[in-house]
C-alpha cells in the first residue's frame, strides 16, 4: 500500500464564549484553562456519529466557518513527548557552532523556546506559548540572509509539526459539502449559478460577507461545494494552467479505473446554443457510450464524483474537508471506495488532507474498522437542569472506539443488521434443541410461514 497523505491538525480549541452550547468529555487542558474547549485528538478521517438532531452537522458547520477558532495544535506539541524537546535541542546544538554570527539574530527566539520548555511543569499554557515562540522564530529566520539558518529553522518547525515557512499550523483550505448537493440541474431564474449553495449559505452561514454585487460569498480559504456549479469549476480548470488541466486528466483517470472498469472517461463542459436545454451543462463521455449530461449518471456515482473532486482540486494545499452524510445514495461498496479515496489518495508536494464527516450510518462506521487512521466522536444532546420552560440544548462530544457498544446501541444496530442472530439459546442436550426448534416452527406457522421452517 502506498504511503498515505499527511495530516496536520491534532487538536483544535474553541473559545467557550463563542460556543456555549458545546461540551467535551473528558475535557483536556492544553492551555488557557477555563477559556478554551479542546476538541480532539483528530486523525486523517474523523467521524462524527450520533442520533438525529444531536448536533453533528451543527458542529461540522461551526468548525468549517467560524473564524473564532483561536488555536490549532499539532500532535507533537499537544502530546509533549520528552524526545521532542531532545530532538529539537540536538538539531540546534549541532548547527549553532558552525553558523557563528549568522545564528545570533535568532538566539533570543531559541532561548525563549528553551525557557518555555524548562518551565512547562509550572506553566499550564506552555504549549500555546511554545507555538507563539515558534511563530516568532519563523519570522526572525525569514529576515536572516543565511540559507543554512533558514534550513535549520525549517527543520525545527517541521519537527514540531508546524509550517517551516510561517511557524504556524496551516494555512488551510476548507471545503464544505452539504447534504443539499447533487449534479442534477436545479436552476431557477432567481439564482442560475448555484441555487443549492445559495440556500445553504442563507440558512447556515448568514453572517458571511457579500461581494460588491450583493451576492453572498465565503471568506478566503472557505469553499462551499454543492455540485450546482460543477460545470463552471471543471471549465475553469480545463481553461487554466497546465497543472490545472493535468489535475482534471488525473481526476478522469481515477474515475475510469475505480468506477467505469477502465473505460476512458472525459468531462466536457459544453457550450450549447442560446436557450438550449443543455446550455452550460457538463457532459461525460465513458468508453464507446454516447456522451451524456453528467447528471444523468446514477445518483450514487454523481455523489461520489462530487465528494472525490476536492481531493484533486486541492491536492497541493492543506485541505480540511467537511462532508455531511457521505453515505447518502451510496451502495456499501461505494462507501468503501469513498473511504479508501479519503484515506489513500496522494496529495501534491507540500499538501496535506484531513476529513471530517457527520453521519449516523452504522455501515459507514463498520467500514472504518479496517484502518487505524480514523477517530470517532460520539455526539449526544441533553438539556441543562432547571425549571425554565425553554432551554438551549447542550451538545456533548466524546471520543469513542469504532466498535463502541453504547455508540452502536444509539445508532440502533442489531446483530440482524448484518445478517447475524440477535440472540443465542444454550441448551443442555439434543432433546431440548428439538423442543426449541418445534416451538419456533409453530411460531413461524402462526405468522403465516413466510420465512420458512427453522
Tens of pLDDT, residues 183-212: 876 655 444 466 677 777 777 676 555 444
Looking at residue 83, what is its pLDDT? 84
Task: Name the residue among 416, 384, 380 with its Cα closest to residue 397.
Answer: 380
Task: State pLDDT tens for residues 109-150.
Answer: 888 888 888 887 777 788 888 888 888 888 888 887 788 888
Look at residue 158 and tell me whether its pLDDT is greater than 80. yes
Looking at residue 175, what is its pLDDT? 93
Task: Name the residue among 78, 79, 72, 67 with its Cα closest to residue 13.
Answer: 72
The residue ranking higher by pLDDT, 218 or 92, is 92
Question: What is the C-alpha separation between 310 and 322, in angstroms, rounded?
Answer: 11
Instruction: Indicate the Cα dihedral angle 227, 233, 238, 242, nearest 10°.
Output: -120
Task: Kindly state the average pLDDT of the residues 250-276.
Answer: 85
Question: What is the C-alpha separation between 446 and 441, in angstroms, rounded?
Answer: 9
Look at residue 106 and tell me whether its pLDDT is greater than 70. yes
Looking at residue 35, what is its pLDDT? 75
Spatial contact of 412 and 389, defined as CB atoms under 8 Å apart: no
Residue carrying C-alpha cell 548547527: 95
Amino acid at each position: 500500500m502506498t504511503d498515505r497523505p499527511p495530516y496536520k491538525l491534532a487538536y483544535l480549541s474553541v473559545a467557550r464564549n463563542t460556543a456555549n452550547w458545546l461540551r467535551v468529555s473528558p475535557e483536556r487542558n492544553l492551555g488557557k484553562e477555563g477559556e478554551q474547549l479542546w476538541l480532539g485528538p483528530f486523525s486523517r478521517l474523523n467521524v462524527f456519529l450520533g442520533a438525529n438532531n444531536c448536533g453533528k452537522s451543527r458542529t461540522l458547520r461551526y468548525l468549517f466557518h467560524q473564524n473564532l477558532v483561536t488555536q490549532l495544535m499539532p500532535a507533537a506539541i499537544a502530546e509533549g513527548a520528552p524526545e521532542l524537546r531532545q530532538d529539537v535541542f540536538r538539531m540546534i546544538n549541532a548547527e549553532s557552532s558552525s553558523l557563528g554570527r549568522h545564528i545570533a539574530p535568532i538566539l533570543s527566539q531559541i532561548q525563549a523556546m528553551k525557557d518555555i520548555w524548562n518551565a512547562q511543569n509550572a506553566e499550564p499554557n506552555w504549549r500555546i506559548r511554545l507555538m507563539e515562540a515558534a511563530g516568532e522564530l519563523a519570522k526572525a529566520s525569514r529576515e536572516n540572509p543565511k540559507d543554512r539558518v533558514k534550513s535549520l529553522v525549517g527543520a525545527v518547525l517541521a519537527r514540531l509539526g508546524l509550517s517551516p515557512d510561517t511557524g504556524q499550523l496551516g494555512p488551510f483550505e476548507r471545503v464544505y459539502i452539504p447534504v443539499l448537493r447533487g449534479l442534477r440541474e436545479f436552476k431557477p431564474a432567481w439564482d442560475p449559478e448555484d441555487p443549492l449553495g445559495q440556500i445553504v449559505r442563507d440558512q447556515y452561514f448568514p453572517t458571511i460577507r457579500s461581494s460588491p454585487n450583493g451576492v453572498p460569498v465565503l471568506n478566503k480559504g472557505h469553499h462551499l461545494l454543492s455540485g450546482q456549479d460543477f460545470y463552471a469549476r471543471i471549465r475553469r480548470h480545463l481553461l487554466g494552467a497546465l497543472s490545472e488541466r493535468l489535475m482534471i486528466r488525473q481526476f478522469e483517470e481515477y474515475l475510469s479505473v475505480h468506477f467505469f472498469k477502465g473505460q476512458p472517461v472525459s468531462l466536457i463542459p459544453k457550450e450549447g446554443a442560446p436557450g438550449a436545454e443543455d446550455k452550460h451543462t457538463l457532459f461525460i463521455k465513458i468508453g464507446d457510450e454516447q456522451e451524456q449530461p453528467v447528471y444523468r449518471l446514477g445518483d450514487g456515482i454523481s455523489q461520489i464524483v462530487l465528494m472525490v473532486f476536492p481531493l484533486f482540486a486541492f491536492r497541493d494545499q492543506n485541505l480540511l474537508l467537511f462532508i455531511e452524510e457521505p453515505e447518502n445514495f451510496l451502495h456499501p461498496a461505494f462507501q468503501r471506495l469513498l473511504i479508501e479515496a479519503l484515506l489513500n489518495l496522494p496529495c501534491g508536494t507540500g499538501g496535506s488532507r484531513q476529513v471530517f464527516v457527520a453521519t449516523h450510518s452504522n455501515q459507514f462506521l463498520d467500514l472504518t474498522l479496517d484502518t487505524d487512521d480514523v477517530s470517532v466522536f460520539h455526539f449526544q444532546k441533553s438539556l441543562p437542569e432547571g425549571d425554565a420552560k425553554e432551554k438551549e440544548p447542550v451538545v456533548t462530544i466524546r471520543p469513542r472506539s469504532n466498535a463502541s457498544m453504547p455508540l452502536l446501541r444509539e445508532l440502533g444496530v442489531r446483530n440482524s443488521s448484518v445478517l447475524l442472530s440477535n440472540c443465542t439459546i444454550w441448551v443442555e442436550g439434543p432433546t431440548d434443541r428439538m423442543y426449541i426448534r418445534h416451538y419456533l416452527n409453530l411460531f413461524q406457522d402462526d405468522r403465516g410461514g413466510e420465512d420458512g421452517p427453522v
